[in-house]
Each structure stands twice: as C-alpha cells, then as structure tokens.
Amino acid sequence: MTQSVPPIGFAGIRAEPQDDVPGFNLNESGVPRQRVPWFDGMRPGSATSEYPDTLEPEALPRDVGEPVQVTPPQLPEWLVALLSMPLPRLSTAFDPRTSQRIAPYAPLIRPLSAYQPTDQSVRTTAGTPVDDAGSLPDPGSVETPSDQVWPAPDMPEWWPADINPRSDIATAQNSNPPSSQEAAWNAWLQPLKEGQPSTQVGRDQSPGPSGAGMVRPPMSVPPTLSLSPAGHPNFLPAKAGDADMQSVQQPRPVPQDQETQRTDPATPPSIMPGYADDPRSNDALARMQLSANTRAASVPNVRGTVIASLADGGTFDRTPYPAYGASSELGTPFGYTGQRFDAKRGNTYYRNNRLNLVDLHGQNTEGHEGTRPSMSDAYPEPLIPGAQYAQVVVQRNEAVTGNTRIDRTTERLLSVLADTVQSLGPGAGPIFGIRAHVEFGRRVEELNIPGIRDKGVEQSFSLGEAAQYGLEGSVRTDVVLRDREGIPIAVYDLKTGNAKLTPSRVREIRDALGRPNIPVIELRYREESAMLR
C-alpha cells in the first residue's frame, strides 16, 4: 500500500495545487513542465492525506501531463500546464533583517495534498470528474483573501497580468481542521527521504538541513500560497471558519503576549536559521535574541503539560495549572498543553508536531536529531551555545519487564506520577506521603486504566484474595495490575520518602497476593522513576 502523506504545513490551512485549473505548470524558465508522478503515489489533489489511514490513495490519472479542458475560455496550453503545477508550501516567516522569507528546508518543500481546492465541476480531459468531494471543504465556507493581505513585492514579475492565482488558492483553506490536539498530532509529517524528486515543486537542489537555512523561494512559486493564520506558524488553529482567518496570510507581528513581547519594535529579534526537529513548546522563541525580560517560554513536562515558564533572564517559574488545565486565568495565552489561545479570535493554535515524549524505557529522546524535515520553517532552531534551556525532570523506567501490558502500564503510571508531582510539588513526612498516595490513587482511578480500573487502587490482599482494608494479615497495595482474567500480574508501590521497598516487604506483598513471582515495582516520587524490586 502506498503511504499517503499527511498534510504538511502550518496553521491547519492546506494549500493545494490545482489539478484542473490551468496555468501553474511552468518551470523556472517559463517552459511548460512535464508532470511527473508524485513521489508518494498520490495524485495531486487527492484528499487522502487529510485522513491517511482511512482512505486509499487514488491512482494517477491517465491523462497527467495532458492539458486539461477548461471551457470557456480555452486557455493556452502553457497556461494550463502552469496552473496545474503543484504548488509548494511556503513559509510565513520573514527574516526581519533581510525581509526574506525563511525557508529552512527548501529542497524538501513540497506541495500539500490535503484538499483539492478546485471547483468539482471541472472535468479532466478524460471526462472523469475528480471525485474528492467527500473531503472537500465547502467552498462557500472559505472566503477569498483580499488583495490587501497578499504581499505584492513577492509576486512573480513575469506573472501574466490577467491571471490572479490567489482567487483559487484561497479555497485551499481547510474549513474543517482538526479540532483536537490529538488530531493535530495525528497529522504527523511523514519523513521525507533524501533524493525525493523535487522537480514537482519547482525547487532548486539547495543543501538540506545542514545547509544555509534561508532560501529565497523560486520565482515560479507564487508566494501567495502562504495561508497561515496569525500567530505562531507552529500552531494549528482549533477553530477554523473564523472570518478573521481570511486576513492573515501575510506574516504580521505576533500578538503581544507573554512569550513574544517586544519592547522595542525597532530592534527585531534575530532568528538563527536552522532546522527544527524539536516539537517542544516554543523553543524557537526561547532562543530568539530578544531584549532582556521581554519574553518567556513555556516549559512542558514529558507529557506536554505546561509546568513552568522560563524567562530569558533565566527565571524559572512554575505555572500553577490545576489538573487538566482547568484554569484559564493565569495571565498567559498558553494553555495547559502549551497551545496558544488567541482570545481575540477564539482560536487555539495547536502545534503542528507531536510531543517529544521521553522514551520511558530509560532513554531520553530529547536532543535526538531525527530525519524528519523541519516542522517549523518559521523559526528554525539551531542550538545556540550559552542559551538557557528548561530543565525538565526525566522520568526513568528501570522496571521494564518485557511484558507489554505491564510495561505500558508502568509508563502510564509514571506519567500520572509526574502529574502528581507537578500538582503537589516536593514534600516530606507521613502526612505528605498520605497526600501523595491519595492524589496519585485518585488520578489513576480517574484514568480507568485497563487492568486496574476500579479495584486496582488501594486494594488490600490476604491469602491470595482481595480483602477489606484492615483485615488481619492483609497487605494494602497502592496499585495492582491484572490481566484479562483478573489475575494480578504486577504490583506498584509508591514511595515518597527515602525509604525503599525492602525484600521482606516485597515478600509480604507476594504472599498476600498468592503470587510468588509477581513483579513488584517501586514508583519513586522524588525521582519520578520506576524500579523493579
């Protein structure tokens, strides 16, 4: 099965080459371009990339490369080819020093294929209507952007005067973007392979990630394809269809907020070109060279939950988000999961990349340089010597058993433990220990984790049976994981102090459960780690 390509891009707006609208298929010399098969096996305009797992990519039309019939008027062949040329994604970010568009991954930029933005009544030469209606946004729901928002200086000089590419491009805006963070994460970009043909996108073969980060877009690429809404280009809007979304194609100053406040507009931040492969919250912003005390970066924990803010002066403040980010009055536009909320528009901008979760098998993937292309071509993120980075506690799972059910549960419990630590903070003593156990148990119960559910938390055992708390000879466990038949397969014991699970206690637990070899896993509050005992 050919792997379809999830939508690249930013801000949840998918620009799409116009299969059936002529005029885009010219190379840099203005010669009609021979169409080539798409490297991902998808026909331009296929809607499969929006839901890559649910729809099969369609086969290439037999008439690719032939001019399409458009009546009336009949356009010249070169114009038909030009307009049918796939259009690459463009960055919405501009280098404030050079006023050039920042395109850090120029060789790999390629057209998006989320939606076919054209009128469905347009037919191919074979007379077969393009059947993408099921995934098309309602044309009426998307407005055509006005000329005001399209930067005239970026228009190709050779562009025919009677062609306004913007009118159709605007329909590429996705009127039904993912409405949840999960949806945004699911739109994960497939890694591009080296050597992938770039001829479709009219890009030169400039260096890859290690090369110069800023590449001026080729002349054949209409810059008006940048359909990014206002805000950080790393974010996808959770609420599309907003009228304001139509007027944000041009990069403009980010709203004044905690993260991007600039005290002196005359001294814009210098943005180092590079390649972002790190989806952590706002690292690029954190590395912008701003004046002191003008911005702070949100610091997520391993689950992406914002736990603190890091000012450029190095001040590290814990963010008092309650469980599940219930509070919205924290004086920051960044929500519990680090997504920016634009109060003016009512949009929540989801990041266009997944969380960089720590490998809970004991390996921290932070700092790992993946092979994926940059997910943020607006703020490339090179490592800057001397820059301050947030310190996030890394959870350690040293209790890998090889049993998938147990190991997966251990990872989940470690995440719950991290939330508990975040909620309660550090502490000591028996009272704090009880508080930590109660809070941890409550969170575990709420998650209704398979194998734990209602009877796996604070359950006492005696003689291999579940028993009431306080029964003579019984042992109360913190968490017990069962298999599908109800057999206990792992026991978790939370330790908040310096005390460790002793061998004798482990034996007691095993005897009470009637399982002499059951893994007993110690969850250590202070270290946020799991140890197999």
Partner 1 sequence: MSIKRKTLQLIQRRLKGTQLCKDVLVVLPTEHILRGFLFERTLSKDMYYLWRVITPLYRPANPVFLTYSKRISKSRYFQLTREALDETAEHIASIMSPGHLSYLRRVRGPKEFLKHVGWMAGNTMLNFRVDLALTHYLLGNVDQCIKILERLPLEDLAPPFRAHIVPFFTELRTSPADAASRLQAWERENVERLGLAETVSGAVQIR
Residues near partner 1 (CB under 8 A): 434, 437-438, 441-442, 445-446, 448, 453-455, 458, 462-471, 484-487, 511, 514
For partner 1, which is the closer residue by CB, 341 or 461? 461
Give the full edge-to-edge strand order of the sheet including 316-318.
296-300, 306-311, 316-318
CA distance 119 to 123: 9
Phi, psi of 8 (to 5 degrees): -80, 180
CB of 506 vs partner 1, minimal distance in Å: 17
For partner 1, which is the closer residue by CB, 285 or 467? 467
CB of 435 vs partner 1, minimal distance in Å: 9
CA distance 363 to 302: 12
CB of 41 vs partner 1, minimal distance in Å: 44
CB of 395 vs partner 1, minimal distance in Å: 24
CB of 412 vs partner 1, minimal distance in Å: 15
For partner 1, which is the closer residue by CB, 5 or 475? 475
Phi, psi of 238 (to 5 degrees): -80, -15
Rounded to the nearest 5 degrees, what angle is found at the Cα of 225, between the Cα atoms of 75 and 222?
A: 55
How is 362-388 classified by DSSP, letter by letter? TB--TT---SSPPS-SSS-----TT--
Helices 404-424 and 430-447 cross at an angle (nearest 10°) of 130
CB of 438 vs partner 1, minimal distance in Å: 5
Given a contact cutoff of 8 angstroms between Cβ atoms, the answer to whether 154 and 101 are in contact is yes
For partner 1, which is the closer residue by CB, 230 or 457? 457
CA distance 139 to 145: 13
CB of 399 vs partner 1, minimal distance in Å: 23
For partner 1, which is the closer residue by CB, 361 or 507? 507
For partner 1, which is the closer residue by CB, 375 or 501? 501
CA distance 352 to 47: 19
User: Which residues are CB-contacts of 447 (< 8 A; sequence separation ≥ 6)?
Assistant: 412, 416
For partner 1, which is the closer residue by CB, 360 or 518? 518
